[in-house]
Amino acid sequence: MTAHDDGATARTALAQLDAVLAAWVAHLRELTSKDGRVSNELLDRHQVVAFDLAHATAAVEAARESLRFAEGAGPLERALAVSFAGDAVTRVRDLVARDPAACGISEELRQRTVESSEVRAFVAYATSPARADEIVALLEDSPSGPSRGLEEHHVSYAEEFRRFAQNVVAPQAEKIHRHDLLVPKEILDGLRELGCFGLSIPERFGGIQPDEAPDNIGMIVVTEELSRASLAAAGSLITRPEILAKALLKGGTEAQQAYWLPRLASGESMVAVAVTEPDYGSDVAGVKLTATRTEGGWLLDGVKTWCTFGGYADTLMVLARTDPDPKAGHRGLSLFIATKPRFEGHDFEHVQTESDGRAGGRIEGRAIGTIGYRGMHSYECAFERYFVPAENLLGGDGALGKGFYLQMEGFSGGRLQTAARALGVMQAAQETAFSYARDRRIFGKPEIAYQLTRVKLAKMAALVHAARQLTYRAARLVDAHRGQMECSLVKLFSCRAAEWVTREAMQIHGGMGYAEEFAVSRYFVDARVLSIFEGAEEVLALRVIARALLEAEGATT
């Protein structure tokens, strides 16, 4: 196989996977359909097959997008795309081989597609040590890495926020992580000045997003650069305002949009999201925290957990049950905007006074100790008859019972932004591993001279590049008011990828990778949270991605 035809061969190999995935979907649809609709109960009986289907689909879509981008790019981008295509074929082949019958894949189909001599020859070529050598050589000749394919104004975004991340965030990142400190004022003020909090807010509300069209690529590029320096102390700061802003734009009243969006855009209001509860994580339909009508507003009672930035934030987006009938499920939930003072410690308590609109309400928070993702602190927050004025019911009375849907609009943006956070962490880990492998000597030679190290570095680069192009594709879909499922797909893919990349980057560092003085250890523990928050990967794979694939044809529930 020669360089001029390897892209075409890769696309041909991926086309073979389409037949496999189509048979897989058709078989699972047959197993999970009831009265012409996809049944969650039946889907739960086939969780392993559905979970694997979601991951297989994500790998194929990432490979396809990487190859599409490579068509107009240079040798490095083409080499990375072909390498990852080989890896994607291997992933799907291995998942199917575990239990072909459970996936609905006949032996004849396997032999004709993923086990054919042509596909096997392509995989051997694309994933060979020789190809890894080529990629590493190209990376050494391209210090800035592969092209991202960005427009000029997005390149400016990247350069501006990279300077801020390197000069302001990076020097403080390790201290914040090791001592579990709050994000310092210098970082918050600097990001306010750069307009960071207005990235997803239209210009008419004081943001920097064009009024005529969304620009999620800009948000992703900025998130990547900040997350390279620190996931918790910089890259995640815009997640919560992003979620609330999307919910407001989707269903907020004109008065709410006019009041809150400028405050979010300027960073005047710092946001936390209070959705998860101790007994209900991704299953938000089971939320128990109640909102009860009272004169002039609502009273919140209950407990929320994993409320990141809940101490310092003065604005909380709270999902609460306004319909006490448990049979109402997600249709009995509404969204509220609660306010409180800022606190800088790991514990806080606020008792409302008349200046809050009503005296006596109380909120108490306790920071949860975590192995990584330090800087913003994640709290368990208890609300006791906490007053929220009527005008802070998001969407007004007309949106009663629609909180779940408004929240999901916000979470879709949050998942896309989480994929960008994963990109930043992966990029930092890959660059650190590459640099360390060149400098470290083992048995008289640089570590990068060894075949296994070069294979790892090449795979890292291919994985990061594929994840980035898949993320950009999802962003373009969201800009076109589509892509809800794709946001979950890219979150699933990128966050799992970040775990592998940071793990191998740590391994390349040897014993020093386990030392806190090396940033790679922070990348590793930070990456682990990515597959958990903003939708655990199991829930995304089963209830969002697999379900969407099965519902692509036919009726839905």
Return all residues near 435 (Cβ < 8 A) that are at least 6 apart.
none
Number of Cβ within a 10 Å radius of residue 538: 16
Residue 320 pairs in a beta bridge with 334
Give the residue numbers marked as catalytic.
534
Distance CA 164, CA 42 (A): 50
Distance CA 132, CA 556 (A): 45
Quote the DSSP letter at residue 43: H
Of 270, 283, 276, 282, whose CA–CA distance to 311 is shortest?
A: 270
Residue-level length of the chain: 557
Q: Specify the 3-state DSSP secondary structure of 441.
A: strand
What is the rounded (10 degree) CA torsion for 306, 540, 68, 501? 50
Amino acid at 95: L
Number of Cβ within a 10 Å radius of residue 286: 14
Distance CA 304, CA 379 (A): 8
- In terms of Cβ atoms closer than 10 Å to its own Cβ (0-12, 13-18, 19+), residue 176 is buried
Contact yes or no for 70/88 (Cβ under 8 A) = no
Consecutive H or E run containing 353: none
Of 232, 236, 495, whose CA–CA distance to 373 is shortest?
A: 232
Quote the DSSP letter at residue 165: I
Number of Cβ within a 10 Å radius of residue 477: 18
Backbone phi, then psi, for 33, in 5-degree steps? -90, 140
Contact yes or no for 41/121 (Cβ under 8 A) = no
Q: How far is CA 470 from the centre of its chain?
A: 12
Distance CA 531, CA 521 (A): 18
Residue 274 pairs in a beta bridge with 318
Of 539, 535, 258, whose CA–CA distance to 408 is shortest?
A: 535
